Copies of this chain bind each other. A is one copy, B any other.
Amino acid sequence: MAKPVCVVVGVGPGNGAAFARKFAAAGLQTALLARNQVYLDELCSSVEGSRPYRCDVRDPNQIIDAFTRIKEDMGPVQALIYNAGAGQFSNVEETSVEAFENAWRVNALGCLVASQQVIPDMVQAGRGNIVVIGATASLKGSAGFAPFASAKASQRSLAQSMARHLGPKKIHVSYVILDGIVDLARTRQAMPDKPDEFFMQPDDIAQAVFYLTEQPGSAWTFELDLRPFAEKW
């Protein structure tokens, strides 16, 4: 029998890659989406049973095309991890229409379109998981985060609406609030003085995401906040 399929949309070198490794280690085939083909190929060579799908999630047609190929290549999707999350950090005076729209396309519209590609098969199977990766900004519109926060709030509302609609169809939609800085080459460089314990470990986040997909139907979580133990919040 074919292994179940997990799609990770937005596989950067931190969380996305960790999600791919975690679900692969748990015995799933993984379809990995990102914009950079070279990076994707490299990542796939290190994750067993994974396949690369180049995709710019700002364009619904590219998403539709990628999921069509995934289904042909690997079969119906059982778990969708929506991890695409770029967005500009700027206040209302500094924000261009383009930056505002891009943040919303990546975080909200892309999430809708990707979800719509997998929902019919999940409804038919009577099972499935959609995990959307959010941030503190999903809950709070800070002064310097106009595009990112409003895009994340839109995404969270969409995920909540999906969870309520799809729960009775046995599709578990959940939302992860990352409240901390992820340990990446980029963040370490930007904050060289912070101790190790300041950073969130991608593998620990991946473990939490995987846990959500394993919850039994009588006790499903919608929203899971995650932060490092020493975080001020």
Contacts and interface: CB of A to CB of B under 8 A. Distances in A.
Interface stretch (A2-10, A32-40, A71-79, A204-212): A204-212
Interface of A: 60, 91-93, 95, 97, 100-101, 104, 108-109, 112-113, 115-116, 119, 137, 140-146, 149-162, 164-168, 170, 172, 180, 183, 197, 199-201, 204-205, 207-208, 211, 215-233
A112 B101 CA distance: 11
A92 B112 contact: yes
B199 A218 contact: yes
B221 A208 contact: yes
Contact of A228 (B141, B183, B220): B220
A228 B217 contact: yes
Contacts of A225: 221-223
Contacts of A211: 211
Given A92-B115, A97-B112, A154-B154, 14 more contacts: A97-B109, A104-B104, A104-B154, A150-B161, A151-B154, A164-B232, A172-B229, A197-B217, A197-B218, A200-B219, A205-B219, A208-B215, A219-B226, A221-B224
A141 B111 CA distance: 15
Contacts of A116: 92-93, 95
Contacts of A205: 219
A8 to B, nearest CB: 18
B149 A157 contact: yes
B112 A95 contact: yes
A162 B92 contact: yes
A143 B231 CA distance: 12
A140 B141 CA distance: 16
A197 to B, nearest CB: 7
A64 to B, nearest CB: 10
Given A101-B109, A116-B92, A145 B161 contact: yes
Contacts of A231: 167
A229 B168 contact: yes
A218 B233 contact: no
Contacts of A155: 150
A142 B160 CA distance: 7
